[in-house]
Chain A
Amino acid sequence: MIRRNGFTDETLDWRSWLEPLELAQASPLQLEVLDESHPQSRTSPYYLTLAHQPLMLRHRSAAYNAIMYAPGGLPRAERELGAMVVSVTNGCVYCTSVHAQRFEQLARRSDTVEQVFDDPASAGASERERAIARFAVALTQRPDEVGADDIAPLRAVGMSDEEIIDLLHAVAIFGWANRLMQNLGEPAPGPVDAP
């Protein structure tokens, strides 16, 4: 269990500030899109809120799932590292908790998580992780200024064009996800809230 600077890798819930869709009122299209989006979306206030616009949710979920889960390219633990760094940089406590857990499951260690919670811009257990974290912070905080100097460290640790594109997709989609999580509702203590 890691708790630092207001972030945690414990399981949290999320409460919507809007009225989530009532499942009993859902259209066939809304049910179809919910099932495409996430295995637990029918009981998730987040997905039930987004389901008010099913076609918008459909395309968001297609992008998200391909970016975070498609095989090949950047190893999935490194996509989760990007997601976690962006979420901490944006102050999204809920997304941070989810992606800290995913990183720990995929990488089978948590040293990097503690470092990201302390200071995402200098975090990383290796030169490669540090390059990924620094790039994720840069693209999150100053998208109008990133340039060749920000790409060079990624090339220096051996990343291909395809891997760099996977990383910038992961960073960018958390610019999207964090904004929804932080502006349509708030995190709440989870079902297994530790004392």
Chain B
Amino acid sequence: MSSPDAADVIDRAAGLTPGDPLHSARRFRAKVVGASEASHDALLRQPVEGLSTADRLRVASHVCTIAGARTLAQHYEEQLDEAGGSAVPASAALPAMLRFAAALTTDPRRGDRAALDALRRAGLGDAAIVALAQLVAFLSYQLRVVAGLRAMRASRAEVAP
């Protein structure tokens, strides 16, 4: 983990740099800042049987793209390139993971038991399904924090002299 005063993933996606008033205001909740970044790291990097980091990054970039979170999608694409990009083979379960992720992101009401059975049939165990659901649900959180901070930045720009 980086120093709490550096710019983290959410800062960079929201266009905040150290010294900005909003960068400082976020540090009023330093625990939230730290736990958000630690969640990002664990959800993508913590080893999970049947769920590679490359496939998690593919899911993350897909989720952010369909949610219109352009700067975050770019972040996950860059991370995927650094992890080897298309040279890293995708799991046979990736299409099922992307379908689950898209449904969960666009309409949380669409979830049902059949969606989890589809993941099981694709070869994911319960621990991998928990990891995937946590990642996708976290992205809904992360992209809303970024969107809210961007809106605050736009609002400050409007009231500035």
Q: Which residues of A contact B (CB under 8 A)?
A: 17-19, 49-50, 52-53, 55-60, 62-63, 66-67, 70, 72-73, 90-92, 139-140, 143-148, 150-152, 155, 161-162, 164-166, 168-169, 171-173, 175-180, 182-184
Contact = CB atoms under 8 A, between A and B. Distances in A.
B145 A56 contact: no
Given A60-B134, A90-B109, A172-B141, A148 B151 contact: yes
Interface of B is mostly: helix
Given A50-B130, A172-B148, A179-B137, A161 B67 contact: no
A171 B148 contact: yes
Interface in B19-43: 21-22, 25-26, 28-29, 31-32, 34-36, 38-39, 42-43
Nearest to B26: A165
A17 B116 contact: yes
A107 B150 CA distance: 31
A139 B147 contact: yes
Interface of A is mostly: helix
Given A18-B116, A59-B42, A169-B32, A49 B130 contact: yes
13 contacts: A52-B131, A56-B134, A59-B42, A60-B35, A139-B144, A143-B67, A143-B69, A148-B154, A165-B152, A169-B29, A169-B145, A175-B144, A184-B130
Contacts, number: 172
A109 to B, nearest CB: 27
Interface of B: 21-22, 25-26, 28-29, 31-32, 34-36, 38-39, 42-43, 46, 48, 67-69, 104, 108-109, 111, 113, 115-116, 126-127, 129-131, 133-134, 136-138, 140-145, 147-152, 154-155, 157-159
